[in-house]
Amino acid sequence: MMPAMGWSVFAVMSVIAVLHAYWAFGGLWPAATEADLVKTVIGITRSQTMPPALHSLAVAVLVLAAAGFALARGVFGFDSVIFVRIPLGVVAVIMLARGIYAYLPGLFSRASEPFATLNAMFFSPAILVLGLAFTILALAPTAR
């Protein structure tokens, strides 16, 4: 189970990292304009522009690092508390908090459409599943 989970989390997180890098270099998918991209993937109404490229690249690097921890623990079986389990636990807490945050009353009430709907139906559930996977990877017993 652990190798399949490690590969799955690595694959999904890698795609997310590539998307952030793509946006950093001016990519617009899944929208036609930058303003539509902001409304679709960020959900803010006070800006019509994406964050600076450096911010998107930083997110891509952090997401890819999290993917690497999942791969290290799930596939290669690295079991260091300091270098693998704690980082996995930190990522799990961040993902679970972000996933739960979306469902707290009023917190995303000002989010633009289509982000608000996509967040409730797809983004947050996916983030919660990833958070659960990171939790399992962080807490799973050592394979013998």
**Are the C-beta atoms of 108 and 97 separated by less than 8 Å?**
no
Banded model confidence at residue 110, pLDDT cuts 50, 70, 90: confident
Using an 8 Å Cβ cutoff, are 67 and 6 in contact? no
pLDDT tops 70 at residue 143: no
Query: pLDDT of 26-78, one tens digit each?
Result: 999 999 999 999 999 998 878 889 999 999 999 999 999 999 999 999 999 99
Residue 20: what pLDDT? 98
User: What's the gap between Cα 110 and its chain centre?
Assistant: 21
pLDDT of residue 92: 98
Q: How far apart are CA 91 and CA 113, in angstroms?
A: 28
- Measured CA to CA, the distance from residue 141 to residue 144 in angstroms comes to 9
Residue 91: the pLDDT is 98
Q: What pLDDT is recorded for position 118?
A: 94
pLDDT number for residue 112? 83
CA proximity to 74, closest of 144, 132, 138, 13: 138
CA distance 52 to 67: 23
Give me the pLDDT at residue 106, please.
73
The residue type at 108: F
pTM for the model stands at 0.93
- Whether 45 and 116 have beta carbons less than 8 Å apart is answered as no
